[in-house]
Amino acid sequence: KMRKVIVCRDLGTDAMGILRACEDIELVVWPENRPCDRTWLLDNVTGAEGVALMLSEKVDDELLDKAGPSLKVISTMSVGYEHVSLPALMKRGVRLGYTPDVLTDAVADVAVLLALMATRNVKATTSIVENGQWPESTWAPFSFCGPQLSSGLLPSLAFPAPGTPGTSSNPSGESTERTVGFLGFGRIAQATLARLVAFGARKFIYTGNPNASASSLQSSSAADIELATKHNLPQNAITRVSIESLAENSDVLFVLAPGGPSTYHIISHELLARMKPTAVLVNASRGSLVDSDALAQALGEGRLWGAGLDVVEGEPKVSSDHPLVKEPRCVILPHIGSATFETRRAMATLTARNVIAGVRGEPMPAELDLTAWT
Ligand code: GLV
Ligand code: GLV
């Protein structure tokens, strides 16, 4: 008996090759190079045992009813699953495959990229060059300066007063020690931390569950000490703090937590008001976590140095008149965090393997444990 599998987007040579090689699978593939039409999906899904899809496809009761009792697995080519109704899956015993781990490094790379772009005025400065407006004064002492992302010690700006002790063995200097904050402290945040260690950072703060209260905070847990030790950092280098303290103390704040109702607009007007005017905000998770209007206002009023966003509320419908798009210190990428050839190939083949294992009733290479959501 052939198992019907719907594929909502051509997954590329490797993944499609794996699927086509399965003699027990009958493939129905959306033929166009754009998100599949909802009506096409609803028309074709009846009797399917598996569906491979993207963030653009909503999985809800309507779709699962149309599929009927044959459906065993949804396999999404993403680590996030806000587009999937978990209760709807659980009600019917449908399994969910997703793509964690394989994209961690690629997204962490983009998080660092955004932090550098936001601190170093890359949006404004590249546009100056592109527009043929490279001024004669670029190498003026302080033009285009931004805060430094690297942590370290720069030589003192001032001549020490005569008789000041120890300028060579114990130099006084301009400390650029940075406090790096994480809202959400999962795989991608920890991979970003590893990169910032190489940038000299020695002070990391995070909130794991953004809704946690401030009690039992402010001390490093065994896991934090273990992580610090792994990176040759002092034992107290990584500390869990309240979300307010996170906002107040971060020089760069990375938002790397899942979307959904529990984190909606967690970067609010109130939280932005607590941030340092020299700080930058990076969001490489979901646009819904950041209140865009509040962020635009904070940037416009100079209450925050800059922002680097790989995701924006309402994407991909983001108009060029959007206040954040117009903001010279807000750099926006069109959700490209995982977009390297290597990572996307790995995500696509994992998506294929998940759906194959799912329809066969075998263990999936990356299955979301739905029992954790009951
Ligand atoms: C991308 O945002 C993903 O969830 O994989
Ligand atoms: C920069 O180009 C320098 O020479 O310092």
| pLDDT tens track for 189-240 | 999 999 999 999 999 999 986 555 444 445 679 999 999 999 999 999 999 9
Q: Which of 56, 103, 335 to mutate to test the pocket of ligand 1 (most atoms within 8 A of CB)?
A: 103
> What integer best gives the mean pLDDT of the chain?
92
The per-residue pLDDT for 57 is: 98
345 CA from centroid of ligand 1 (Å): 14
Q: How far is the CA of 107 from the centre of ligand 1 (A)?
A: 9
Ligand 1 and 208: CB distance under 6 A:
no
Among protein residues, the one with the nearest Cα to ligand 1's atom 5 is 78
Cβ(338) – ligand 1 distance below 6 Å: yes
Whether residue 45 lies inside any domain: the answer is yes
**51 with 64, same domain?**
yes
Q: Are residues 180 and 288 in the same domain?
A: yes
Q: Is the residue at 165 inside a domain? A: no
**201 and 324 fall within a common domain:** yes
Identify whether the C-beta of residue 370 lies closer than 8 Å to the C-beta of residue 364.
no
For ligand 1, the distance from its centroid to the CA atom of residue 310, given in whole angstroms, is 11
pLDDT digits over 5-42, tens only? 999 999 999 999 999 999 999 999 999 999 999 999 99
Q: Which of 78, 256, 315 to mutate to test the pocket of ligand 1 (most atoms within 8 A of CB)?
A: 78
- In the chain, the number of structural domains is 2
pLDDT tens per residue, range 68-81: 999 999 999 999 99
* Residue 257 and residue 271 share a domain: yes
Measured torsion, CA atoms of residues 299, 304, 308, 312, in degrees rounded to the nearest 10: -50
Domain of 311 in residue numbering reads as: 104-150+174-332
259 and 325 in one domain?
Answer: yes
Task: For ligand 1, say whether the CB of 285 is within 6 Å of any of its atoms.
Answer: no
Q: How far apart are CA 157 and CA 173, in angstroms?
A: 7
Q: Which ligand is nearest to the CA of 138?
A: 2
What pLDDT does residue 304 have? Answer: 98
Verify whether residue 231 is a known catalytic residue. no
Q: Which tens digit of pLDDT belongs to each residue from 251-309?
A: 999 999 999 999 999 999 999 999 999 999 999 999 999 999 999 999 999 999 999 99
The reply to whether ligand 1 has any atom less than 6 angstroms from the CB of 348 is no
Is residue 168 in a domain?
A: no
Looking at the domain assignment, is residue 166 inside a domain?
A: no
